[in-house]
Structure 1
Amino acid sequence: MSKPVAVTGAAGFIGRWVVDELLNQGYSVISLDDFSNGRRENIEEFHNEPRFEFFEGDIRDEAAIERLINQETAACIHLAAEIDVHESLERPNDHFEVNVVGTRNVLEACRATDTRLGLMGTCMVYDMADSEDGIDETHPVKPASPYAGTKLAAENVAESYYHGYDLPVTILRPFNTYGPYQEVGVVPIFVERDLNGEPLKIYGDGTQTRDLLYATDCARFVVDATFSEAAVGEVLNAGTGEDVSINELARLIASDGRNIEHVEHHHPQSEVPKLLCDPSKAKEVLEWEPEYSLEAGIEELRTWLSNRSNK
């Protein structure tokens, strides 16, 4: 059996798909999650897979990280994080402890074992942009929430380990990802409300745009970038290169006659008005391109949610 790939946050939405992609590519996986954001049912189908090992643990616990990452680890994909923008404004310390201190623990374990690291960042670190060319990796950063600030801090610490210790680190910044097993996010919320015959509710005026990346495309990007020698020391975006307004997204998802309502935004200061990815660097470095159109991804998600509700 090949050396295992360590995955933090394996029971989360993206973590579940990364585990699936690793197994499909023939890797063995050792993983952990504390189920603060992840769900046990997300990884149930993997438990009979001999190449999959899981234990419950918290990235703030150094002993758990040392158990996960050792001399036999082929690589680590670090996905575990506090991820809620609105909650970060209410509870910033929680985000600091998990996203910064937890990442430090992962980096120290990787340094001790010379384990390559794929670090999940976020497109939310970027400053606002109105350009139709999209945001590339050289675009200025300006985190608008403690969530984005702590994720950027984690990236900076990871980059310091690359420059200071020559640790093989790749920083991954996928744009807004959606798909099956996602509990929060505008696309699954809209689709589920539509399936239930409920009105679709939009926070604010709905003119904000997002570049929406399907889950399997994101997972393939994460795995390929983590193992790419050309990507070591790099920051890489992943997206479709097309954005859609939340108003347009609601109209695309809503069935005939379904109401669309606008409601007050709880934290408008944290809302980024336009997110459009320039994925050209990932294409150049990894030969990676998304396979799913927005329409195809929404249909896949709609089918999955329908099947789940009928079980």
Structure 2
Amino acid sequence: MNILLTGGAGFIGRWVLKRLLDDGHHVWVLDDLSNGREANIAEFREHPGFRAFIKGSILNESILSDLFVGNRFDICYHLGASINVQDSIDDPRTTFNNDTIGTFYVLEQCRRHNVKIVFMSTCMVYDRCTDEGGITEEHPLKPASPYAGSKIAAENMVLSYWHAYGLPAVVIRPFNTYGPFQKTGGEGGVVAIFIKNKLDGKELKIYGDGTQTRDLLYVEDCARFVVEAGYSDKVNGEVVNAGLGRDIAINDLAKLIVQDESRIRHVEHIHPQSEIQKLLCNYGKAKRLLGWEPQISLEEGIRRTEEWIRSTDLI
């Protein structure tokens, strides 16, 4: 198939690209590099399925139009987005423009050319988990940050194109994803940041009291989920979660990574109003419709991530 991957030079996008190329497809990557890095995809440049890298924004309708007119895409995996909660609080306009208006521009091209869209949303749209069975797709939503609000707005637009036009479309909500190629600085995820600080002999800083929990999904499991949502007609018109199905308190995560409580310090939360106290995924729908379930345990995923951080100069 011919596939457009927005945000393909980002952390998750890089692994989705790898999966698509391994599966034999032709892939075009569109990324403005505001969060992604060309170095993430450098190893794929000579792959016969890698068609082009286009540095550009999803807000540039002429770039999008040229891509769709010229390449007869079968699927658009739309991962391009602003993803930082604090940035969305500080500058909501940028996040809204990228995540909502940008998604609308991509949707319009998909509608004109009848291209299936796989829209990458986030678990941050949910209210806290109150059920030990985990968060299903019917769980209440709570836009506790402009990031979450922008994603919910975009989700509704994506699903409206399924209902109004019959456009093949699916909204996917992966839970907190981590692994190799994730940034280890302020824009990175908690696992990558903790591991880097451990290796550098620094303290592991925890926002708030550390009792908040996260469901941590290894990036290769996430990429497999993203790709398979594009392949299957069973999820068209649906919202589908993916996660490990196990949550861990940030306090316990820090102990698991550093194994020295004296190196753990609690600091004032930067956005307590947007904290979700408990996140636990119920991925039963993904298992039922896609046959998907995670394969990498948290402990194994942390080991692989630490091994990568030790060995790379990309951070």
**Normalised-by-shorter TM-score class:** over 0.9
**Distance between the aligned counterparts of 1:124 and 1:256, measured in 2?**
30
Residues 1:233 and 1:257: Cα distance change in structure 2 (over 3 Å): closer
Q: Which moved more, 1:217-226 or 1:127-136?
A: 127-136
Matching residue of 2:81: 81
Shift of 1:257: 6.5
Matching residue of 2:182: 182
Q: Which moved more, 1:123-132 or 1:294-303?
A: 123-132
1:260 correspondence with 2:264: yes
Q: Report if aligned partners of 2:255, 2:261 keep a CA contact under 8 Å in 1.
A: no
SS at match of 1:69: helix
Matching residue of 2:226: 222
Matching residue of 1:198: 202
Amino acid corresponding to residue 69 of structure 1 in structure 2: F
The structure 1 segments of at least 4 consecutive aligned residues displaced by more than 6 Å after TM superposition are none
Amino acid corresponding to residue 219 of structure 2 in structure 1: A
Matching residue of 1:152: 152
Deviations, residues 40-67 of structure 1 (Å, cap 9, x unaligned): 1111111111211211110000011123
Amino acid corresponding to residue 23 of structure 1 in structure 2: L
Residues 1:310 and 1:257: Cα distance change in structure 2 (over 3 Å): farther
Aligned pairs for 1:1-311 (under 5 A) are 3-52=1-50, 53-70=52-69, 72-183=72-183, 184-256=188-260, 259-309=263-313
Q: Report if aligned partners of 2:198, 2:258 keep a CA contact under 8 Å in 1.
A: yes
TM value normalised by structure 2 = 0.96
Shift of 1:129: 2.1
Residues 1:258 and 1:45: Cα distance change in structure 2 (over 3 Å): farther
Q: Report if aligned partners of 2:172, 2:240 keep a CA contact under 8 Å in 1.
A: yes
Q: Report if aligned partners of 2:116, 2:169 keep a CA contact under 8 Å in 1.
A: yes
Amino acid corresponding to residue 91 of structure 2 in structure 1: R
Q: Report if aligned partners of 2:73, 2:115 keep a CA contact under 8 Å in 1.
A: yes
SS at match of 1:229: coil
Which runs of 5 or more structure 2 residues have no equivalent in the other structure?
none
Q: Report if aligned partners of 1:31, 1:68 keep a CA contact under 8 Å in 2.
A: no
Considering only aligned residues, what root-mean-square deviation do their CA atoms show, in Å? Answer: 1.4
**Distance between the aligned counterparts of 2:277 and 2:130, measured in 1?**
9
**Distance between the aligned counterparts of 2:140 and 2:311, measured in 1?**
42
Q: Report if aligned partners of 1:95, 1:146 keep a CA contact under 8 Å in 2.
A: yes
Q: Report if aligned partners of 2:39, 2:314 keep a CA contact under 8 Å in 1.
A: no
Amino acid corresponding to residue 4 of structure 1 in structure 2: N
Shift of 1:310: 11
**How many matched pairs?**
309
Q: Report if aligned partners of 2:121, 2:155 keep a CA contact under 8 Å in 1.
A: yes
Q: Percent identity?
A: 52
Shift of 1:142: 1.1
TM value normalised by structure 1 = 0.97
**Distance between the aligned counterparts of 1:95 and 1:27, measured in 2?**
31
